């Protein structure tokens, strides 16, 4: 059943109740609709398994999306802006040392009460670690590290050129970024949901680099705008993914200006992934990093910002990946995306309790 936009309220709710697929006019209409309702998109899955609330639609006649009522646990996503605002407010009043101490308590509390999230993290780490006792400890530390991540994330507007050095333990491989930019074709900063990727962007801009961040939109428009404001406050330019060519063109334009592009490469969200082997499991990885590098010839630099001793960050920029370029695009994408997965696997295995993936990763992204 195809329903034109804007949707009539009566017809819309009737369709939802009967579980009919709904065809939307475009991405933006769907995002605005869900930001005002207690619904999620279900593409070929039921509401309970549709754990990621973000919306991605393709253009074309085949684009049909099923609306389902949002499970009660999904209401936590709608409180995201409130939680971030509250943490940010308190974070601007209290010293960082005290806030990080409080983060240990809060992280431990959520580890104890969020049974389903705790089980999801355990399942993921079972693929990463072999020792059962180590897995149990890593699960708890994951919640604590994530609470610390939120503290620094909401306080990043306080960082300036003269004070951010106190948070940085070391910056290894900065010459790899400088060398890539010396070629005049820009640079792709490849990272993962590991450590504190947001702080990495702040550190780069404070060091004088011109940085663009590719981001996926949140269901809640106000939460998405909040994230953009935080980044733009540190002179980070934001490129939001959408269902048109505009985001890809913005990336290529920034690279032509010899700027840096930062993107996360460990979660496939668009339904157009590349099969790879990741921790021994066949999963889909996003095609974007390898494809954009192929089109632009920019260097792809694996970069991670990891929490180290004394709550300081260890920044690591590895040498640009050596990518295959045979002229066969599909084959090159498959090989290069597997190389990206290999780098991700190495760092996640070294810092498993800083891989913030609170859903069943290997089931969600598995190759069917």
Question: Does the structure show a pLDDT above 80 at 55?
Answer: no
Task: With respect to residue 3, please indicate whether it lies within any of the assigned structural domains.
Answer: no
pLDDT in tens, 263-293: 999 998 777 789 999 999 999 999 989 999 9
- Phi/psi at 278 (5° precision): -130, 115
Query: Which of the listed residues 76, 95, 129 is the one where a domain comes to its end?
Result: 76
Q: How confident is the model at residue 29 (pLDDT cuts 50, 70, 90)?
A: low
pLDDT at 272: 76
User: Is there a single domain that holds both residue 144 and residue 272?
Assistant: no
Which value, to the nearest 10 degrees, does the dihedral of the CA atoms of residues 284, 290, 292, 298 take? 160
**Mean pLDDT on 138-146:** 96
pLDDT at 58: 34
User: Is there a single domain that holds both residue 356 and residue 236?
Assistant: yes
User: Is there a single domain that holds both residue 177 and residue 311?
Assistant: yes
Q: How confident is the model at residue 48 (pLDDT cuts 50, 70, 90)?
A: very low
pLDDT at 227: 85
Query: Distance of CA 189 to CAs 18, 58, 194, 265, 299, Å?
Result: 45, 26, 14, 10, 8
**Mean pLDDT on 282-310:** 93
266 vs 194: CA distance, rounded Å: 9
User: Is there a single domain that holds both residue 132 and residue 145?
Assistant: yes
Task: With respect to residue 282, please indicate whether it lies within any of the assigned structural domains.
Answer: yes
Cα Rg of the chain, angstroms: 21
**Tally of structural domains, the chain:** 3
Q: How confident is the model at residue 71 (pLDDT cuts 50, 70, 90)?
A: very low
User: Is there a single domain that holds both residue 299 and residue 334?
Assistant: yes
Query: Which of the listed residues 55, 76, 97 is the one where a domain comes to its end?
Result: 76
User: Is there a single domain that holds both residue 193 and residue 330?
Assistant: yes
Domain residue limits at 279: 163-364
User: Is there a single domain that holds both residue 19 and residue 35?
Assistant: yes
CB 28 within 8 A of CB 6: no
Q: How confident is the model at residue 180 (pLDDT cuts 50, 70, 90)?
A: very high
Question: Does the structure show a pLDDT above 80 at 74?
Answer: no
Task: With respect to residue 66, please indicate whether it lies within any of the assigned structural domains.
Answer: yes
Which of 169, 158, 124, 135 is CA-nearest to residue 267?
124
Residue 146 or residue 246, greater confidence: 146
Task: With respect to residue 63, please indicate whether it lies within any of the assigned structural domains.
Answer: yes
User: Is there a single domain that holds both residue 142 and residue 260?
Assistant: no
Task: With respect to residue 276, please indicate whether it lies within any of the assigned structural domains.
Answer: yes
Query: Which of the listed residues 154, 180, 207 is the one where a domain comes to its end?
Result: 154
Task: With respect to residue 201, please indicate whether it lies within any of the assigned structural domains.
Answer: yes
Mean pLDDT of the chain: 81
Lowest-confidence range among 67-71, 113-117, 176-180, 184-188?
Answer: 67-71
User: Is there a single domain that holds both residue 89 and residue 234?
Assistant: no
pLDDT in tens, 248-260: 788 989 999 999 9
Task: With respect to residue 4, please indicate whether it lies within any of the assigned structural domains.
Answer: no
**Strand locations in 28-154 (E):** 39-42, 65-69
Question: Does the structure show a pLDDT above 90 at 15?
Answer: no
Query: Distance of CA 9 to CAs 33, 87, 122, 209, Å?
Result: 11, 37, 42, 48
Q: How confident is the model at residue 222 (pLDDT cuts 50, 70, 90)?
A: confident
Peptide linkage before 6 cis (omega within 30 of 0): yes
User: Is there a single domain that holds both residue 176 and residue 298?
Assistant: yes
User: Is there a single domain that holds both residue 182 and residue 136?
Assistant: no
User: Is there a single domain that holds both residue 181 and residue 145?
Assistant: no
For β-strands 299-307 and 281-285, DSSP reports them as: unpaired
Task: With respect to residue 2, please indicate whether it lies within any of the assigned structural domains.
Answer: no
């Amino acid at each position: 059943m195809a329903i034109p936009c804007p949707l009539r309220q009566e017809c819309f709710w009737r369709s939802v109740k009967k579980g009919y697929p709904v065809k939307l006019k475009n991405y933006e209409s769907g995002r605005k609709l869900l930001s005002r309702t207690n619904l999620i998109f279900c593409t070929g899955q039921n509401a309970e398994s549709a754990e990621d609330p973000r919306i991605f639609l393709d253009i074309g006649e085949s684009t049909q999306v099923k609306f389902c009522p949002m499970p009660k646990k999904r209401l936590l996503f709608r409180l995201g802006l409130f939680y971030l605002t509250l943490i940010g407010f308190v974070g601007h009043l209290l010293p960082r040392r005290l806030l990080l101490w409080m983060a240990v308590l809060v992280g431990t509390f959520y580890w104890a009460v969020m049974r389903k999230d705790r089980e999801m993290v355990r399942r993921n780490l079972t693929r990463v670690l072999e020792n059962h006792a180590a897995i149990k400890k890593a699960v708890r530390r994951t919640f604590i590290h994530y609470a610390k991540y939120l503290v620094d994330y909401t306080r990043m507007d306080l960082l300036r050129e003269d004070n951010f050095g106190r948070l940085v333990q070391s910056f290894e491989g900065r010459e790899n970024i400088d060398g890539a930019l010396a070629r005049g074709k820009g640079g792709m900063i490849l990272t993962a949901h590991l450590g504190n990727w947001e702080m990495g962007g702040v550190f780069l801009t404070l060091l004088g680099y011109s940085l663009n961040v590719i981001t996926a939109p949140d269901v809640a428009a106000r939460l998405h705008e909040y994230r953009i404001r935080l980044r733009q406050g540190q002179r980070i330019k934001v490129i939001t993914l959408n269902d048109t060519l505009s985001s890809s063109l913005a990336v290529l334009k920034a690279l032509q200006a010899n700027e840096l592009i930062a993107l996360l490469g460990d979660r496939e969200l668009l339904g157009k992934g590349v099969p790879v082997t990741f921790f021994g499991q066949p999963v889909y990885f996003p095609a974007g990093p390898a494809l954009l590098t192929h089109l632009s010839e920019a260097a792809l630099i694996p970069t991670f910002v990891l929490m180290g001793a004394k709550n300081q960050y260890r920044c690591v920029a590895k040498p640009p990946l050596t990518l295959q370029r045979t002229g066969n695009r599909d084959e090159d994408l498959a090989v290069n995306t597997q190389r990206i997965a290999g780098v991700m696997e190495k760092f996640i295995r070294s810092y498993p309790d800083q891989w913030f993936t609170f859903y069943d990763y290997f089931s969600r992204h598995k190759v069917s």
